[in-house]
Chains A and B, each alone.
Chain A
């Protein structure tokens, strides 16, 4: 099941942390992105359904970095500002696959339950 973060003081409609990890990993799987871009991307792709409390992104990013699933690098943006870009490590890619598979199994199961009853 999903991991609940003790520190994020979860409100009911907040993203649960395990899910946030999956979203972050997926979002940066194609190219390195900085924090703001990750937040924007998640909102866009989900059609504004998933509202990420932008601040909560950073503890998640730092945690993933500490677990060596993502790595960070300071680079210039198009506008010439220095920003911290996150990208996947090999271990992160493996983790992404594992969590994605886990998620699809879970959502299929929930679909089944929801549709048959």
Chain B
């Protein structure tokens, strides 16, 4: 009770401070009046009575102060007072204040934004119940090079039946399908086709309606769909009657049976990749929007094949480790190998399995990149703090007389330190608040326009963790930048400071040395950051400048998704292709049009092994297959090396055009034209050899390719390439040309090859861009730091310089003197930074293309750039030093 009342009184004394103050005054006034009245009654005259009353009372000001002290909060009053003082001081030096504010706002903003991404993508567990037990299961197949690949569904089904380590296993496939509601053209939607237990394993319940039940997996009962919350909002504007509505997905009418909750996030196809090969560029896929049950006749799948098309997710039973689960799956794989039904390589280990936490599978390769960004942004923040510390140190030195006077008058040291800290805290708090707003704005911008293949993008939000981080960072920054100035204050000897005349240097040899140390550290950090930036820039330039083997200018691609429902027969698809090609060629301005079965620079799509018929031992590794129409090579301007390309009059569909690399691998220096190869048991005749090209990915060496006539196996995903001088303006004409033949066909996208090239390097561009902006900021900060220290030093050494010039020093000598002062810390910093960047380069080696971790040209360029910048920063102070008039400097002595 008493405690509660005391607490209440404390609060009152905090929030009713003015009223209490007034009442205290009244109370004491009343007391004095009473005493005066009594004194007058005792016979004194009024004036005497007043003095006597004051004498018996004592000093009312002290009394009031002591009474106020009992209310508590005196410390708060002092803090407020110091903060007000700090605010006034900062207002008086707007240049410093605004620079510091901007530096902090940008630094804290950038760090908070990057940390938000790191936290949301890497640190936060997936948003599923007990997500630690969720795993992804992969198969290792020897003839596929033992890379972890999405399992054959037949094998996955055996796992599902036999494995006891899991409370459930599911297998699913990503698909891109045309979605129609009503009579509009279909729009491409990313879908997940899954056996019905997916949501039981994820432990997700429907927001509206239901998720899947086992009957949904029975053929004939599978015409249902579950929508994600965003798609429901988009299609039905949040109308609950959507459940039960009919939509067309991939040319099949399906009933919507449920809507998933808003916080449901399922990884996209480009994140949870069912087929992984190192360095493949993958087109960034949007998050799945619709879920469709797979009604599979599992017996129709081959025992060996169909790898890399499905993903398997599972939930471990409580207490089961990853190793146990992996071991169990490997045991089952061995059983499959010894099964009489297994048609292929029976040697032990030909089939393996691997279990990985789902979170790890989702986060994947983005880990290194994100930590690199985090490290760079913290490095930048550190440089910013060092800069602030440096500027504060300079201010502390010019204010050393003030603090000496305050000390001499009896100010406690801690009050002086606190006043420095108060200034920094104020700056940091303002900068921090602005930084958080900035981070939020940056993230919104970043999430609205997301060309970057980052996983879990839709989960990136500023939340409590991030706020906490930025507040900690703010305090850390203010402490860091106040630490050295405070140390200076502690070391100040008031007597020495006061004895010095105001116009002379303040015995600041020590202080300047400290500031030069700071410069050195800044330079080191900046050099390291710039070097890493240089490596990434070179790598990106390398990717962009690499010989591609085909021409991306003036070419556009239209991607069309044909469905088995409407285009089930080969002839249907050939008719479609031919009609659309002739429509496209009819567009005014179009020079050439052709079709191909895979997106240029869109990664691998169909790989197969190839054997030379006469030398079956010469088996080439898996090579990429493309089905192309005549005119494809001409449209993309690929060079013919030998033989001929496909022609309109070709009737023989068992012809193949090989890439130069593949032809060399099989025939060496012999002539491959007319040679025969065996692919999937069929025999093809080589009619031509085309120059190597990087048409799967810019990041890998040119892929080995085999091109087959499109009529041999007309593809479902069809890519029309069109060459025209003004191709960017033909996008809608291309759409109309396709819809003219079939208005219900799904056009996934129409874009120029240039845009496709840009998109295929989106991640690299993004990384480089962010690093470049960090590097530029760091360089600017380092230049400011050098400039600040030198110009301060020139001001304090004015007399000395004057004396030197009077004694015959030339202007050149004075320039050299000033440059030399910055020279030592700059060179030491550059060397330390180089050493640091070697370590950093090692860490990011895997993210670089055509660039060494220690790359002499990059080192040379960055060092050169840095030294030039440092010279530029030192130039102004040096010129000021050189223009000192000896007479004037000496007279002011």
List residues of chain A with CB within 8 A of the CB of B69. Answer: 7, 59
Task: Kindly identify, within residues 52 to 78 of chain A, every residue whose CB is under 8 Å from any CB belonging to chain B.
Answer: 53-56, 58-59, 61-63, 65-68, 74
Check if B6 sits within 8 Å of A36, measured CB to CB.
Answer: no
List residues of chain A with CB within 8 A of the CB of B57. Answer: 53-55
Check if B31 sits within 8 Å of A91, measured CB to CB.
Answer: no
Task: Kindly identify, within residues 328 to 359 of chain B, every residue whose CB is under 8 Å from any CB belonging to chain A.
Answer: none
List residues of chain B with CB within 8 A of the CB of A58. Answer: 24, 27-28, 31, 63-64, 66-67
Tell me whether A82 is interfacial, beta carbon within 8 Å.
yes
Tell me whether A34 is interfacial, beta carbon within 8 Å.
yes
Question: Once bound together, how far apart are the Cα atoms of A91 and B1, in whole Å?
Answer: 9
Partner of A81, one of B1, B30, B67, B71: B30
Question: Once bound together, how far apart are the Cα atoms of A83 and B70, in whole Å?
Answer: 20
Chain B interfacial residues counted at CB < 8 A: 31
**Mask for B19-40, Cβ within 8 A of A = 1, else 0?**
0000110111011011100000
Tell me whether B161 is interfacial, beta carbon within 8 Å.
no
List residues of chain B with CB within 8 A of the CB of A65. Answer: 9
Tell me whether B59 is interfacial, beta carbon within 8 Å.
yes
**Mask for B59-78, Cβ within 8 A of A = 1, else 0?**
11011101101111000000
Check if A66 sits within 8 Å of B71, measured CB to CB.
Answer: yes
Check if B63 sits within 8 Å of A66, measured CB to CB.
Answer: no
Tell me whether B58 is interfacial, beta carbon within 8 Å.
yes
Task: Kindly identify, within residues 1 to 55 of chain B, every residue whose CB is under 8 Å from any CB belonging to chain A.
Answer: 1-2, 5-6, 9-10, 13, 23-24, 26-28, 30-31, 33-35
Task: Kindly identify, within residues 1 to 37 of chain A, every residue whose CB is under 8 Å from any CB belonging to chain B.
Answer: 7-8, 34-36
Check if A35 sits within 8 Å of B10, measured CB to CB.
Answer: no
Question: Once bound together, how far apart are the Cα atoms of A14 and B780, in whole Å?
Answer: 65
Given A7-B69, A36-B34, A84-B23, A55-B58 contact (CB < 8 Å): yes
**Mask for B496-540, Cβ within 8 A of A = 1, else 0?**
000000000000000000000000000000000000000000000
Tell me whether B56 is interfacial, beta carbon within 8 Å.
yes
Residue of A nearest to B62 (CB): A55
Most central of A62, A68, A81, A91 by chain B CB within 10 Å: A62
Check if B58 sits within 8 Å of A53, measured CB to CB.
Answer: yes
List residues of chain A with CB within 8 A of the CB of B56. Answer: 53-54
How far in angstroms is the closest Cβ of chain B from A29?
18
Question: Once bound together, how far apart are the Cα atoms of A39 and B56, in whole Å?
Answer: 11
Check if B9 sits within 8 Å of A66, measured CB to CB.
Answer: yes
Question: Once bound together, how far apart are the Cα atoms of A39 and B13, in whole Å?
Answer: 25
Question: Once bound together, how far apart are the Cα atoms of A65 and B27, in whole Å?
Answer: 14
Check if B10 sits within 8 Å of A66, measured CB to CB.
Answer: yes
List residues of chain B with CB within 8 A of the CB of A82. Answer: 26, 30
Check if A59 sits within 8 Å of B70, measured CB to CB.
Answer: yes
How far in angstroms is the closest Cβ of chain A from B56?
5
Residue of B nearest to A94 (CB): B2
**Mask for B715-729, Cβ within 8 A of A = 1, else 0?**
000000000000000
Partner of B6, one of A35, A67, A74: A67
Check if A62 sits within 8 Å of B71, measured CB to CB.
Answer: yes
List residues of chain B with CB within 8 A of the CB of A54. Answer: 31, 35, 56-58
Given A62-B67, A83-B30, A55-B10 contact (CB < 8 Å): no
How far in angstroms is the closest Cβ of chain A from B75?
14
List residues of chain B with CB within 8 A of the CB of A61. Answer: 67
Question: Once bound together, how far apart are the Cα atoms of A84 and B19, in whole Å?
Answer: 14
List residues of chain A with CB within 8 A of the CB of B26. Answer: 82, 84
Given A7-B69, A81-B30, A55-B63 contact (CB < 8 Å): yes
List residues of chain A with CB within 8 A of the CB of B28. Answer: 35, 58
Residue of B nearest to A52 (CB): B56
Q: Closest 8 interchain pairs by CB?
A: A55-B58, A59-B66, A55-B63, A63-B70, A36-B34, A62-B70, A68-B5, A62-B67
Q: List 8 A-B contacts (CB under 8 A).
A: A34-B27, A34-B31, A35-B28, A59-B66, A66-B70, A67-B6, A74-B23, A84-B23
Give me the interface of B with A, judged by CB distance under 8 Å. 1-2, 5-6, 9-10, 13, 23-24, 26-28, 30-31, 33-35, 56-60, 62-64, 66-67, 69-72
- Supplied contacts A53-B58, A55-B62, A58-B63, 17 more A-B pairs, CB within 8 Å: A7-B69, A39-B31, A53-B57, A54-B31, A54-B58, A56-B66, A58-B24, A58-B67, A59-B66, A61-B67, A62-B70, A66-B6, A66-B9, A81-B30, A83-B27, A84-B27, A84-B30
